[in-house]
Structure formats: C-alpha cells, structure tokens
A and B are shown apart, each in its own frame.
Chain A
Amino acid sequence: MVHVVLAGADGREFTGGEGAFDVEATSVRRLILALDQRFPGFGDYVERRMAFAIDGVIHQDAYGAELAPDSEVCLIPKIGGG
C-alpha cells in the first residue's frame, strides 16, 4: 500500500479532513484514479493543484512515475517560481 500524506489543509475538503491514508497504486496515474474513486472530485483537484513528493523527490504532472509498494507520496501544492 502506498502511504499518501496531505501536507497542509489543501484538499481536505474532499477527504473529510483526513490527512493521511493508504491507497493501492503502482503509478501516479493509478494513484490519481484511486483517490478520485475514494473521494469523488479529489483526483481532479489533485491533478490541477498538487504536486507529488514521491519518497522525497518532487514530481509535477507525472502520470508515469512508478510507486513502490511502500512508497510515501506527499501531496503538496504545485510550486511555481520567479
């Protein structure tokens, strides 16, 4: 199971306030689909607003990124910059 963590309050309106949960997924794409199934609308929100820190490495918009069974995926707001 992939361990998913919401870093801040962002997105918790979809999860009923929950900030951490375990999800079965082997890629980011599957993770998004699984999240959307569990919390309707959340997958879409995550795609638009969040980046994925997969075991500490930040990925933005990376459907193909693979997840290990014990991966930790931290959802953080997308980052821009100057």
Chain B
Amino acid sequence: MSKRHISTTVNGDAAEFLAEPGATLLDALRDELRLTGAKEGCGSGDCGACSVMVDGRLVCACLMLAPEAEGRRIETIEGMAQGGRLHPLQQKFLEHAALQCGFCTPGLLVAAKALLDQNPDPSETEVRYWLAGNLCRCTGYDKVIRAVMDAAADLRQVRRAS
C-alpha cells in the first residue's frame, strides 16, 4: 500500500510526514518524526502513555490513525517546556519525586496539563479520576497526585498575579 503525505502542526511548527494508511499517530510521531516522548505501553487506549493533544483535546495517539492528523494541531511532551524553562507541572513532578522509572511520565504530564488548562482548581478526587486513564505501575500515584495539586496551586497564584 502506498504511503500518504500528511501535513500537520506539531508543537507550533509545521510538520510533514509519510504514513501508511493503517499507521497510528503514535507510530508517525515516534517513527517518522522521531518524537519518542510519547510512549507505547499498550497500543489499545488503556494506559495513557501515548497521551498527546490534538486540536486542544487529549487523545491516545495509539488510537488515532496517522492520516487523521492531516491539518491538525498536535502538542506532545516535547513542546511542554517553553524556551528552556520547564512547565510548572514538570517542575513539581521533579520536586515531589512523582516519577520512578519515568515511562508513564510524559503521558501523565500531558494529561495533567489538559486538566489544569480547563480546571485550574481541581479536587484530589477530580485529579484522580481525570488521571485514571494513565497507568503508573511504580509510584502508587501518591506523589503524582500531590505534584499535580501543587502545580495547580502555583499556577493559580501566577494567574492571580498577572
């Protein structure tokens, strides 16, 4: 089968790649664009390690076909730190030791950012349910949840100040 040419925006820049019709967005990101921050933990939409944003919506890149990315705006973990500065969520994950092996971390960060973008003041329960699609086998989630809550508090302060 012949590959198709796809044009997208990835982390703010125009990006083009060739994709088999059956390839997933995750395959395209990882194998064509070499953006390997999004991980494949299951390939079936159950682990969240492949979380990316597409047109502002949180999706599992393993469940979306690469050709469907045509004309869309994609954000990945590689675009989260801005201009040499970590996003507050990234910083809080480090401070709270919210990662052990770090394999789930890119997905968790992308998903957590999606939450805070739409709900700046989530309760612990809201955070836990929002992140229920992101498996982490190492941490027991305790420090992950604390990091997200702490980052939310920081971000609220920044917003108030500006």
- Report A-B touching, CB under 8 Å: no
Q: Which A residues lie at the B interface, using CB under 8 A?
A: none
